[in-house]
Amino acid sequence: MPAVRIVEVGPRDGLQNVQRTVPAATKLELIHRLEQTGLQAIELTSVVSPKAVPQLADCRTVLGDEYVQTLLQGQKKGHLRLPVLVPNLKGLDIAIEYGVREVAVFVSATEGFSRANINCSVREGIERARAVAEKGRRAGVAVRGYVSCIFADPYDGPTPPSAVLHCVNELLGMGCYEVSLGDTLGVGVTSKVRRLIEYLVQNGVPVEQLAGHFHDTYGQALANVWQAYCCGIRVFDSSVGGLGGCPFAPGAKGNVATEDLVYLFENAGVDTGVNLLKLAETGDWISRQLSKTNESRAGTALSVKHKPGSVGCTGAPTQQPTVPKLRWTPVKETEGLQIYRSGVNLKVVLNRPKNGNALTVPMISQLCDVFENADSDSSISRIVITANGKFFCTGMDLGKGSTQVGQGGSTSTAQFDRLTRLFELIDNSSKVTIACMNGPTFGGGVGLAFACDIRICVKTAAVTLSEVRLGLCPATISKYVAREWGPAFTREAMLSARPISAQELKSLGVVAGVAEDQQQLQRLLDGLLTRLRGSSPDASRMSKELVKLSWAHAGGEKQAAGIKALFERMMRPDGEGAHGVKQFQAGKKMDWDAYVEDKLKAKL
């Protein structure tokens, strides 16, 4: 049977009516996951006024992202289409500025909805679309058209087929290569779908230039899709997880779920080119990110069936779902350091691979600045330290002309002060600190890792306190290593200077996870940061203070006083605890990363 092309509208139409602000990082991750499923078209966003659609105020951030730019630049070579909805010429100019090669224009078939949605008459809406289409075509941009309210208008009632025909003809006439017919209210049934398509075709509209866009308000969307397919339509809009809805249709469900669409067609022998299991994982993931029910029946069933440890029809355990891959945006690069950002996460990468990422004086100073600045930045919740190359960090730079060893006096004092300040800044950071050890670690690099709160590493990341071989001792790092490893083990490791394997560190409980290789290490980091979204920043700070009290002042008055102060702090009516408990009582899963970002936006 003839194949279909699915246009995924989740990142735009699916998210635009979500009340809570969805972080740009989540939107970008959604786009990445959708692209990995084999979809041929993904509607990225809409270049629209932030006042009109606050959820899409970050359209420039999305379009300017390095990954999205890579996709946009590759459109000419590949089959992937990446349309962007633009309401006017200003939106078109911005889209072209970011390299967009396909835009969509929107008109309503009815006057009431047109005035409520885009504040103009149908005629004015068509003229706006025409201006965009004509300028877009001159710029070499493909144009797709949308017609909304094809069956009914919440203000005007039933829509005459002639009104739909008029809009379709206008859109095709202005150069739209395809027009998507939108059942915005989700009131259509199969008989209405068949009559409307037959009417349009009988009046000269080529069926190959039509697409279907059905909402599921009354549970008829999938049946309507099949009816439209039987009438000759081969392109359908849908939204992963059934995201979406219409603010002008009380109780309206979202778009037909992409998972349900793929399940229907694939089981009918119609090729979609989409990996259904990956799609189901994506629908489950975005539903969890938004703390909402997954509206896809097929997606929900497949997610349950393929959960870790569950048994499929073969009786064998199914494969674990993939960990969400975080997108990191470059922030700054200096000689020896690279700094990246992903939402509330900051990543510091040691970048002297040819020198084993040994710490120079400028690097120590720059690391101190990073941690000092981050401590006063409420938009940052976590800091990751990792490195490029084979080594995590080989300690102080001992190269000729670089080392302070043997110079004594003020040189020695300055180096001691620098290192002490660095390790104390990491140890006392109010953020959750994570060492992602990509390879073997020596000397001061061990201090760098074990001053952090959490550590993960590759299996080749042996740790060596090699100072005694050089006539040195691990002075500034000793209290952090001894605290984490225990005095007896630390003593033996220092005196023997032997490599301590990642597995041995794991058995001690001082490393949270060990990966087979670099690729798995990145997945391990992504999974850890994703899980930590469920941890309150303030509660994390308090928990760190409790641990510090337990080893620094165990059983003493300072510990008792500290515990009491932290208890009072967590019970405050204006604290994060009060908000978290309310969400728990409401049966909602808390996403603290989104909470932090929402608070910051509210202050702007």
pLDDT tens figures, 197-234: 999 999 999 999 999 999 999 999 999 999 999 999 99
Q: Please say if the pLDDT value at position 320 is more than 50.
A: no
Q: Using CA atoms, how far apart are residues 278 and 5, in angstroms rounded to an integer?
A: 17
Q: Using CA atoms, how far apart are residues 338 and 351, in angstroms rounded to an integer?
A: 7
Q: What's 203's DSSP letter?
A: T
> For the chain, how many residues are written?
604
Q: Using CA atoms, how far apart are residues 239 and 450, in angstroms rounded to an integer?
A: 45
Q: Using CA atoms, how far apart are residues 296 and 299, in angstroms rounded to an integer?
A: 5
Q: How many CA atoms, within 13 angstroms, populate the side-chain half-sphere of residue 64?
A: 10
Identify the pLDDT of residue 305: 73
Q: Please say if the pLDDT value at position 76 is more than 60.
A: no
pLDDT mean over 119-138: 94
Question: Which band of pLDDT confidence, cut at 50, 70 and 90, is reported for residue 163?
Answer: very high
The amino acid sitting at 598 is D
pLDDT tens figures, 273-308: 999 999 999 999 999 999 888 999 999 998 877 665
Pairing of strands 210-214, 235-238: parallel
Which two three-digit tokens encode residue 592?
Answer: 């603290």
Q: Please say if the pLDDT value at position 45 is more than 60.
A: yes
pLDDT tens figures, 472-498: 999 999 999 999 999 999 999 999 999
Q: Where are the beta strands (DSSP E) in 19-172?
A: 41-42, 84-85, 102-108, 142-148, 152-153, 157-158
For domain 329-532, the CATH superfamily is 2-enoyl-CoA Hydratase; Chain A, domain 1 (3.90.226.10)
Q: Are 175 and 133 in contact (CB under 8 A)?
A: yes
Which among 9, 54, 33 is positioned nearest to 530, based on CA atoms?
A: 33
pLDDT tens figures, 367-425: 999 999 999 999 999 999 999 999 999 998 766 555 555 555 677 888 899 999 999 99
- Domains 5-305 and 329-532 in one fold: no
Q: Tell how far CA 522 is from the center of its chain.
A: 15
CATH 3.40.50.980 given to domain 5-305: no
Identify the pLDDT of residue 312: 41
Q: Under 8 Å CB-to-CB from 60, ≥6 apart: which residues?
A: 94, 98
Q: Active-site positions? A: 246
Which among 38, 46, 156, 149 is positioned nearest to 94, based on CA atoms?
A: 46
Domain ranges of the chain: 5-305, 329-532, 537-603
CA distances from 220 to 101, 102, 211, 217 (A): 33, 30, 17, 8
Strand order of the sheet with strand 210-214?
Answer: 41-42, 5-8, 235-238, 210-214, 178-183, 142-148, 102-108, 84-85
Q: Using CA atoms, how far apart are residues 158 and 182, in angstroms rounded to an integer?
A: 14
Q: Please say if the pLDDT value at position 19 is more than 50.
A: yes
Q: Using CA atoms, how far apart are residues 493 and 53, in angstroms rounded to an integer?
A: 59
Question: Which band of pLDDT confidence, cut at 50, 70 and 90, is reported for residue 248?
Answer: low
Which two three-digit tokens encode residue 71?
Answer: 């996709």
For residues 476, 514, 387, 64, the Cα torsion angle rounded to the nearest 10 degrees is -130
CA distances from 486 to 89, 445, 447 (A): 66, 18, 14
Which two three-digit tokens encode residue 14?
Answer: 């699916």
Q: Which residue has the tokens 């144009």?
A: 143
Q: What's 408's DSSP letter?
A: -
Question: Which band of pLDDT confidence, cut at 50, 70 and 90, is reported for residue 44?
Answer: very high
Beta carbons within 10 angstroms of residue 507's beta carbon: 10
Q: How many CA atoms, within 13 angstroms, populate the side-chain half-sphere of residue 569?
A: 14
pTM as predicted: 0.56
Q: Using CA atoms, how far apart are residues 191 and 184, in angstroms rounded to an integer?
A: 17
Identify the pLDDT of residue 314: 38
pLDDT mean over 559-564: 93
Pairing of strands 454-458, 235-238: unpaired
Window from 77-86, 143-152, 184-193, 263-272 with minimum mean pLDDT? 77-86
What average pLDDT does the structure give for the chain? 90
Identify the pLDDT of residue 396: 87
